[in-house]
Amino acid sequence: MGRWEPDARGRLQQAALELYSERGFEPTTVAQIAERAGLTERTFFRYFADKREVLFAGAGELQELLVSTLAESRGSGSPLAAVGEALEEAAGSMEQRRVYSRQRQAVIAANVELRERELIKLASLASALAATLRDRGVKEPEATLAAEAGVAVFRVAFDTWTSGPDQPDLAELIRESFVALRAVTAS
C-alpha cells in the first residue's frame, strides 16, 4: 500500500477502458478496475476522482497542450490558422493513442451521461482557446468564432480518425476538415 507502482495511471486507464468495453460503463465498479490493473482502490483515487474521470483525464491534458501551444505560437496568420496549427501539433502526439481513442469513443457513444460530459469538455476547450486568443489581442467575436470553428473542425476530424483503422493520420484529417470548413463558409 502506498508504494510507487510503475505507470499506475496508464494501467488504470487501460483496465477501465477494457471493462467498460466488455461490460458497459454503468455496471463497472472502481474495485473491478483496480483489481484488473493489479492495484488498489486507494491507488485509483490517487489518480482519478471517479470512474467517469478516467475517460476524461486525456481531455484535460489535450486542453493544456493546445492552450500552451496556441499561447506560444509565433505565427502571423489569422486566429483560425493559429488554432489550426495548434490542433495539428497536438494531433501528432495523439497518433500513438488511436486504438485507445477508438475504444474510448465507442464507450462514450454508448452512454448518454458520457456523451454529455464529452460535449461539456469540448465546450470548455473552445472557451479556453477563445480566452487564449483574446490574450493574444484577438477581438470578440472573432476569438470565439475562431475557437468554435477550430473545435468543430477537430471534432469532425477526430470522429473520422476514430471511425476505423484505415483512416489517415489525425493531422491530415484536420487539414482536410479545415479545407471543408473554408469551402462551406466561402460563398
* Binding region for its own copies (CB under 8 A): 77-81, 116, 119-120, 123, 140-142, 144-146, 148-149, 152-153, 155-156, 160, 177, 180-187
Give the nearer residue to its own copies in terms of CB position, either 131 or 145: 145
For the chain, helix (H) and strand (E) counts, in that order, are 9, 0
* Residue 149 beta carbon to its own copies: minimum distance, rounded to whole angstroms: 6
How far is 117 from 23, CA to CA, in rounded Å?
20
Q: Would you say 43 or 177 has its CB closer to its own copies?
A: 177
16 or 80: CB nearest its own copies: 80
Taking the C-alpha atoms of residue 143 and residue 69, their distance in angstroms, rounded to an integer, is 16
The set of residues, in sequence order, having a beta carbon less than 8 Å from that of 4 and lying 6+ positions away, is none
> Smallest distance, Å, CB 176 to its own copies?
8
Nearest distance from C-beta of residue 39 to its own copies, angstroms: 31
Cβ 85 to its own copies, closest distance in Å?
Answer: 13
106 vs 123, which CB is nearer to its own copies?
123
Distance between CA atoms of residues 150 and 146, nearest Å:
6
Nearest-CA neighbor of 170 among 180, 178, 162, 182? 162
DSSP letter at 4? -
